[in-house]
Amino acid sequence: MVQVHQKRRQKEELYTLFAEVGQALANARRLELLDLLMQAPRTVEELAGEAEMSVANTSQHLQRLKQSRLVTSEREGTYIRYRLAHPSVAHLWLALRSVADSQIAEVQQALDAYRNRRHEFEHISAAELRARLEAGEVCLIDARPEVEYAAGHIPGAVSLPLEELERRLDELPRNIPIVAYCRGPYCVTADEALALVANHGLQALRLDEGVTEWQQTWPDGAN
């Protein structure tokens, strides 16, 4: 009987450790920080600016994620740079999103409200994009900030951050469709980029997948 009780305690301890990860994820702002870190390592100040939070609040959320071993940090002079602790953390975030999307109808309603232009542009699959890139039939632009492009991007993509795109539209070819991507299906940046492209008289296509989703399909397929 003593051994049975001991095994029960040991099992509960195991599941308590699992629950720590769930508790760390159970906060919308921390999920946003993980999403940003999935794109590129960043300092506390950079994350605070992107997430529109105070530095103090951002730091508290990062400490909670660090306690659960979801992120790590390193000091760079007077700054502290954070990154995901392991690629499995990104996969966990993608899986959480996928479950919510498939099980909670309100996700699509909220997405329609946020990405209110997402149905304006023809979508292209990752497989079709890869084939058309190899054939030189499309121009692929990465509409994310330069720091995210530098940390990793889809092969063949050109960095054209949204804030630079309007003044650089003349750099785009006019004889082939323009495909844009950003941080994935829950990001509005590529939609806004394609609106500019379409207004410039070019054919605009949307890739919903981001770099991490692309890497899951082709593990060696990102620069």
Taking a C-beta distance cutoff of 8 angstroms, is the pair 50, 42 a contact?
yes
SS3 category, 219: coil
Distance of CA 211 to the CA centre of its chain: 8
**Active-site residue, from 40, 151, 182, 211:** 182
Torsion (CA) 51, 56, 57, 59 in degrees, nearest 10: 80
Please report the DSSP string for 74-94 in residue order. EEETTEEEEEES-HHHHHHHH
Q: Is 187 noted as a catalytic residue in this protein?
A: no
Listing DSSP states for 120-163 in one string gives SSEE--HHHHHHHHHTT--EEEE-S-HHHHHH---TT-EE--HH
The C-alpha atoms of residue 51 and residue 190 are separated, in whole angstroms, by 18
Token look-up 């991507």 returns 181
Radius of gyration of the chain measured on its C-alpha atoms = 20
User: Which amino acid, 30?
Assistant: R
Report the C-alpha dihedral over residues 210, 216, 217, 222, rounded to 10 degrees: 60
CA quadruple 199, 204, 209, 210: dihedral sign: negative
Which two tokens mark 78? 């007077």
Catalytic residues: 182
